């Protein structure tokens, strides 16, 4: 399994351990860095973002929402709210 698919799966599976989106983002940072990933390349924009910057971007929220049917309701709402704020 692709490490990013596994990361998304683990983030969503463990989402109920966190009380807000910021806590979940911190977990995501640590999880992704555990696999020695330093950054993410956006092929569409030919851009490179370090993990910390990527987790704070709308791209992270959209990536996470790809499995929105598996997300707890609070996380789904938090992602939508954050995306609307941008």
Tokens 């370090």 locate to 50
What is the structure's pLDDT at 81? 95
- Mean pLDDT over 62-83 rounds to 93
- Euclidean distance between CA atoms 47 and 39, whole angstroms: 10
- Euclidean distance between CA atoms 13 and 24, whole angstroms: 11
Q: Say which range, 11-15, 20-24, 40-44, 48-52, has the weakest mean pLDDT.
A: 40-44
What is the structure's pLDDT at 64? 92
Count of alpha carbons within 13 angstroms of residue 73, beta-carbon side: 0
Backbone φ, ψ for residue 64 (5° rounding)? -65, -40
Domain boundaries, the chain: 3-85
pLDDT above 90 as % of the chain: 63
Quick one: pLDDT band at residue 1, thresholds 50, 70, 90?
Answer: low
How much is the mean pLDDT over the chain?
90
């Amino acid at each position: 399994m692709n490490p990013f698919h596994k990361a998304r799966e683990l983030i969503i599976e463990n989402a109920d351990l966190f009380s807000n989106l910021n806590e979940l983002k911190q977990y995501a940072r640590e999880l992704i860095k555990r696999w020695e990933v330093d950054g993410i390349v956006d092929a569409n924009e030919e851009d490179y973002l370090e993990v910390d910057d990527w987790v704070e971007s709308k791209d992270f929220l959209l990536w996470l929402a790809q499995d929105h049917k598996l997300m707890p309701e609070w996380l789904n709402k938090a992602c939508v709210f954050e995306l609307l704020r941008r």
